[in-house]
Every structure is written in structure tokens, then in C-alpha cells.
Amino acid sequence: MKKFSSIQQSFTVSYSYQVHFTEGIFDYNNPFFMELVDSARNESPVKVLFIIDQGVEQCHAYLKDEIRAYCKRYASVISLKSILTVPGGEVAKNDAQLLNRCLNAIDTNGICRHSFVVAIGGGAVLDLAGFAAGTAHRGVKLIRIPTTVLAQNDSGVGVKNGINWNDKKNFLGTFATPYAVINDWSFLETLDDRDWISGIAEAVKVALLKDPDFFKFIKNNSLSLYNRDLDKMKYLIYRCAALHLEHIAGGDPFERGSSRPLDFGHWAAHKMESMTGYRLRHGEAVAKGIALDACYAYLSGLLSRKVLLDVIGTLEQCGFDLSIPPETDKSELFKGIEEFREHLGGRLTVTLIEDIGKPVDVHEMDFERLSEAMDTLRRFCELKEVN
């Protein structure tokens, strides 16, 4: 043989999943969930493990009973193995013991690659359950049932799962497509006001990057959205989810490059979340991050004053407090830029906008200008003016 030889192989894997919109998914007479499980049946009946957000369980006291009754009715298709409840919110992604509980439940209940993990909850619980499902047996099938606005329009419809490690957001994670996503409108009715509003930030973000008409809709209906107009919120969720799915199909779904074009405002958001001990909801931090980066783009000559006021004014009318937490240490916050770069590696790439629907990538951030952007945002929050 030659001193050097190689064997090369390449192959393509096609991914496909659907996001469904319904109401009363575990209604005794609604066969949709059963039919979804049945569509993937390789064994009879299919073993199913439910992982439920504790906050959802508290707001829907009969949810477990409904699931048990539903699975009993369709026992020829669904074999209910267990229902595991875990804390919701960012604690779900910060506690390694919760991951161990999920993995142990998968193990002890014999959940295999022909079985299902069904995650019901907000984005953090979906991330936790998705990471457990994506790593057990190198990946068992996952059905996500998001219960918050943010999870239904953004985090729950994508292909990423992750948990926090060493105080770094989503340091451990997988790219794993769900078998399906089911957005059940009925879960929105019990959200508190913070969680109702929080998900609007991700809709504003994707509208600013991809769809001027969608941004116009949010701007014109900001007060209705703030006042919990369910029909307006349904449209916002549907359109935002559609834009995210279009991006996944046409972009870099597994983030092999150095750019995360849908993470406008996120370098600061992720850092503010950790700096506040996750007292900030993700969407609340994203709203602040969008506002800060919009101010930076304005000071950089990329964005007009009119568009800047449209952006931060719309966010505020939707109910967001855009002020940077007063205890924020600027030098510590700015470390978020390098952490953002490290997450993907390669060259720093931060997405800003130069107009509604016109994203632009920059590869460096000037700290003095960022400091000035913080002052500009603070002046708007206090005086409602921008110089």
C-alpha cells in the first residue's frame, strides 16, 4: 500500500417535521395526538413518557388526569409509561440533577428509539427534555407541546436543545429535529402577564430581520397584544413560527458557520440573563438586547433615527421595560460579545439592522460606542427622547 491513503464518503440526510396548531390536544374526543403517535408506530402500542413543566401542571390541575384518561382510551396505540414533572423556568436548564432525572426516566421506562418523549412546557423545559431525548440512545423521538408564547413562536419550533453549564447559556446542547410540534392555544390562557408579553420580543426580532409587513402588524397592534387579544396573538405566533421554519429550511440550521442571523440582540440578552441570576425572562432580556443593538446601529450610522424610534417605541408599547438593569457593570456585560463568538467559534459575527427587513452583519463592536448606546437607551427610557 501507499504510505498515505484515504477513504472518503458523503451522504445526505433529509429532515422533516411539522408544527401543528390546535386546541384541547388531550380532549377525550380529539384523536389528533393518537393519530400522530400512530403515524410513527413500529411497535404496538407505542411507549410514551411525558415530561411536564411544574408551572403548567399547577395552572392545569387536571392535566395529568386528562393525559391518563386519553391514553387509556387509545390504549391500543399509546402505552403510557410515566409522567415526570420538573420545575419550569431557567432552573430547569441550570440543575444537572434534573437532566439525570429525565435520563433515568427514559432508562427505567424502557423508552427506546421507537418510543416517544413528549415534553409539555415552556422553552426551558422543552430544552431540558429535548437534550435528554436527543442524547439517550443517540436520540429518541420527541414531541414538543410548547405552552408559552415564546416557546410556541420561537424556541419550541426549532431544532436546538440545550442546558446551561458553568454559568454559560446553552453551553451543552444538541441539534435534533422533533418528530412534531403541537401548539395548543388553550395553554396560553393561563399565562401570567410577563410570560404573555415575553414571547413578543422574538416576533419583533424576526420581523425586523425578515418581514417589514409583520413588523407593521406588531407596531399597529402593540396595545392589543399587550392587552391579551388572543386572536392577534395567534396570528403573531403563527407568522413568527413560519418565519423561523423558513429560515431553518433555507439557511444554516445546524449553525456550522460563524453567524447566527436570528440572534439579533442576543449577545446582550444572554449575558443579562446570567448577570441577573435569570430573574429576567429570556424575552425580556431579548427586548433589551434588541433595543441596545438598535441604538448601537443608530450611533454607527446604519439606522435612521425614525426607524430606531419605531423599534424601541413598539417594544415599549408591547409592555417591555427596556432599561438596562441599573446594577449592570458595563465591562462585565461586554464580555457577552466574546462569549457569543465562542459559542460558534470563528470570526465574531453580530447581526444588526440598517432598516426594517434589512439585516447587516458586523465583525467588531466598539466598546465606547456600546457605552454610548447604553446611555442613549437610558435617555429614551427616562425622557422618551433620542438625540
**What would the pLDDT profile of 76-101 be if each residue is shown by its tens digit?**
999 999 999 999 988 899 889 999 99
The predicted model gives 145-173 an average pLDDT of 90
Instruction: Cell 395553554: give the residue.
Output: 187
Per-domain residue ranges of the chain? 18-190, 193-383
pLDDT exceeds 90 at position 213: yes
| pLDDT for 176 | 87
pLDDT exceeds 50 at position 10: yes
Is 130 within 8 Å of 165 (Cβ atoms)? no
Neighbouring residues of 164: CB distance < 8 A, sequence distance ≥ 6: 90, 93, 94, 170, 171, 172, 274
| pLDDT for 325 | 84
pLDDT exceeds 70 at position 259: no
The predicted model gives 161-188 an average pLDDT of 90
Question: Nearest 5°: CA angle at 90, between 89 and 94?
Answer: 135
pLDDT exceeds 80 at position 31: yes
pLDDT exceeds 60 at position 1: no
Q: Do the domains at 18-190 and 193-383 have one common CATH topology?
A: no
pLDDT exceeds 70 at position 254: no
What is the second-level CATH architecture of the domain 193-383?
Answer: Up-down Bundle (1.20)
Neighbouring residues of 22: CB distance < 8 A, sequence distance ≥ 6: 30, 32, 182, 183, 184, 185
The predicted model gives 321-326 an average pLDDT of 90
Phi then psi for 114, rounded to 5 degrees? Answer: -105, 5
pLDDT exceeds 90 at position 131: yes
CB atoms inside a 10 Å sphere around CB 255 = 17
What is the second-level CATH architecture of the domain 18-190?
Answer: 3-Layer(aba) Sandwich (3.40)
State the virtual CA torsion across 105, 109, 112, 117 in degrees, nearest 10. -50
User: CA-to-CA distance for 120 and 105, rounded, in angstroms?
Assistant: 15
pLDDT exceeds 70 at position 355: yes
Three cell numbers at 242? 413560519
Tell me how long the chain is.
387
| pLDDT for 300 | 97
pLDDT exceeds 80 at position 232: yes
What average pLDDT does the structure give for the chain? 92
